Structure 1
Amino acid sequence: MSPPLIVVLNGPNLNMLGVREPEKYGTATLDDVEALCAETAEEYGLAIDFRQTNAEGELVTWIQECRGRAAGIVINPAGYTTTSIAVMDALLAVDLPVIEVHITNIHRREEFRHNSYVSKAATGVICGLGVTGYALAIRAMADLVEQDEE
């Protein structure tokens, strides 16, 4: 039997990690984040599918494809956090555990970043811990998947 699949989705501009505002987002690249997620998933007996897009419609399609395929979703919706009802609706429709991740603490930033549509569909939210938040999300997802299997 294959290990449970966790889909790790990344929204717009995260392909610029490492060069975009390193004082806020750090110097780790998206490739570094993917390696961290792969290592953490392996440690917990999970498989991952790691993706990034700048297109809202593509992100919605990927979320929909998780239904019946994945055990859970880890998502950093980036700029779609505060704007995309479509992403929220897709997450609600797939009926899977969802962990929302943000590299920065969105609650310490500009006020428009404080309201997350995605949080309304998320099982949990991790923010402000840098890219380590991804590893914590996968660890938490391992616990959620184990609970679902019991």
Structure 2
Amino acid sequence: MTPPLVAILNGPNLNLLGTRQPHIYGSTTLDDVETLCGEAADEFGLALDFRQTNSEGELVTWVQECRGRAQGIIINPAGYTTTSIALLDALLAVELPVIEVHITNIHRREEFRQHSYVSKAATGVIAGLGVEGYALAIRAMAGLLAQDDE
């Protein structure tokens, strides 16, 4: 039996993790995050499709490609959190469980970062727990998918 596929999609500037503002985002790289996610996915019997893009259109396309292919989406929309209605519409259209992840607590940051369009499509949101938030999101997604199987 093929393990359920979960897409982990990362938005703009996350390719700079580890070097970009380490006092805010830490020193962990995106490659480290992918390794962390792979270990968590193995623990819960999930397959992963881990991607990052700086392009809004590409991120929207990736979300759309999840329909009929993935069983859930974990997304760190980064800068598109507060700006992308197109991303919100794509997430709503695929009709999959969505967990929104932010490395920092967006609610403790600048006012413009505190609103999320993506949250309107998200089953749940994890913010402010650093890169461990990704592992928590995988655990939560595994639980959601197990509920769907019942």
* 1:145 CA drift (Å): 0.4
Stretches of structure 1 that go unaligned for 5 or more consecutive residues are none
* 1:117 CA drift (Å): 0.1
What secondary structure sits across from 1:63 in the alignment?
Answer: helix
1:99 corresponds to 2:99: yes
Question: Which position in structure 2 is the counterpart of 1:76?
Answer: 76
- Residues 93-139 of structure 1 deviation map (CA, whole Å, 9 limit, x = unaligned): 00000000000000000000111000000000000000000000000
Question: Which position in structure 2 is the counterpart of 1:124?
Answer: 124
Question: Which position in structure 2 is the counterpart of 1:135?
Answer: 135
Matches within 5 A, 1:2-41: 2-41=2-41
- Residues 61-105 of structure 1 deviation map (CA, whole Å, 9 limit, x = unaligned): 000000010010000000000000000000000000000000000
* TM-score (norm: length of structure 2): 1.00
Mapped to 2, the partners of 1:72 and 1:149 lie a distance apart of: 13
Stretches of structure 2 that go unaligned for 5 or more consecutive residues are none
* TM-score (norm: length of structure 1): 1.00
What secondary structure sits across from 1:57 in the alignment?
Answer: helix
Mapped to 2, the partners of 1:37 and 1:21 lie a distance apart of: 22
Mapped to 2, the partners of 1:26 and 1:2 lie a distance apart of: 35
Mapped to 1, the partners of 2:99 and 2:53 lie a distance apart of: 18
What secondary structure sits across from 2:9 in the alignment?
Answer: strand
Mapped to 2, the partners of 1:6 and 1:42 lie a distance apart of: 12
Mapped to 2, the partners of 1:96 and 1:61 lie a distance apart of: 15
Root mean square deviation, CA, Å:
0.3
Mapped to 2, the partners of 1:147 and 1:96 lie a distance apart of: 13
* 1:36 CA drift (Å): 0.3
Mapped to 1, the partners of 2:43 and 2:2 lie a distance apart of: 15
1:59 corresponds to 2:59: yes
Percent identity over paired residues: 79
